[in-house]
Amino acid sequence: MGLTRDFFISLSKNQLLNNGAKKWGLKLGASKVVAGTDIDSMMRSVKELNSNGISATIDNLGEFVYSREEALLAKANILETLEAIQMHAVNAHMSIKLTQVGLDVDYKFCLENMKEIAALAANYDIFINIDMEDYGHLQETLRLLQELLKDYDNVGTVIQSYLYRSEKDLESLQNVRLRLVKGAYKESAEVSLQGKQEIDENYLKLIKNRLLGPAFTSIATHDHNIINEVKKFVVQNNIPYSRFEFQMLYGFRSEMQKDLAKEGYNFTTYVPFGQDWYGYYMRRLAERPQNINLVLKSMVSK
């Protein structure tokens, strides 16, 4: 299989390695893209970003949650992170995966957990973004979001441009704050575009439609071609900078992140932290096998 996307995706799903990695601490170069294993180290990174005019969306990493105990522990960690955001008065919100707080255990249980999280976040005026996972979880994610929106307006989610259905989904979420991405999972040709060019074209199309609508949009990509197209489009269409932001992952194109913030664009960095770093890191290697350099450098510097 070599160092291919599929190879790293299969590594990311290996539960034994995921569990082992919790005991290792950050290894294999992961510290370049994961902001530490505890709240204190993560907060140092967030303050550093804030000092460069960059906001953060914090992901308390968690994978393979199939029991109520693990989901409740994840919820407790997320509530603790919200308290820390409030206490440190940093410019940050949170990104959460529903499987982490029990979507694979029971839908209603997950909804109750998310209501508790959304309530505390609303109290502190903190936005909660629900990350979009694989296609098998999409329908329930959108359903749960709609349930939350009945009581809370500080929640939103992610739309992936590789899915055929995304254009329709965007129509039904016109008034909801959203992040637009290309899509990180391996999906079948029945439900998703397969070629990079088609996915990129659809991404730009969805971004442009969305920017002409009423709600706030996060454009999450490291792709300079897409970013340059967006820059031109907002000027041509008189779209104010306050209506959108760019987002990138922690540790990726850091200089470009600072430059975009300096140019006056709203910018948010996705800051993952926690002991459960392994699956996240393997998916990043899958997206960009060149990042294997991080692993090799970390090995020779030992």
Catalytic residue list: 131, 179
Among 253, 258, 295, 298, the residue binding ligand FDA under the rule CB under 6 A is 253
Among 29, 36, 102, 183, the residue binding ligand FDA under the rule CB under 6 A is 183
| β-strand pairing of 155-160 with 128-130 | parallel
Rounded to the nearest whole angstrom, what is the least distance from the CB of residue 58 to ligand FDA in the complex?
12
Given the rule CB under 6 A, which of 9-17, 76-84, 98-106, 175-183 is the region that contacts ligand FDA? 175-183
- Residue 199's identity, in one-letter code, is I
Q: Which two tokens stand for residue 48?
A: 């550093």
Among 39, 49, 248, 294, the residue binding ligand FDA under the rule CB under 6 A is 248
- Closest to 212 (Cα-Cα) out of 156, 255, 171: 171
Interaction of residue 92 with ligand FDA, rule CB under 6 A: no
Among 288, 289, 292, 295, the residue binding ligand FDA under the rule CB under 6 A is 288
Backbone angles phi, psi at 268, to 5 degrees: -130, 130
Q: Is 52 helix (H, G, I), strand (E, B) or coil?
A: coil
Q: Is 152 helix (H, G, I), strand (E, B) or coil?
A: coil
The vertex-29 CA angle with 158 and 7, nearest 5°, equals: 65
Interaction of residue 158 with ligand FDA, rule CB under 6 A: yes
DSSP percent split of the chain into helix, strand, coil, nearest 5: 55, 15, 30
Per the listing, tokens 């508790």 go with 116
Would you say 107 or 185 has its CB closer to ligand FDA? 185
Would you say 167 or 223 has its CB closer to ligand FDA? 223
Residues in contact with ligand FDA, total (CB under 6 A)? 21
Whether residue 158 contacts residue 132, with contact meaning beta carbons closer than 8 Å, is answered with yes
Rounded to the nearest whole angstrom, what is the least distance from the CB of residue 279 to ligand FDA in the complex?
13
Binding site for ligand FDA (CB under 6 A): 131-132, 158, 160, 181-185, 220-223, 247-249, 252-253, 270, 287-288
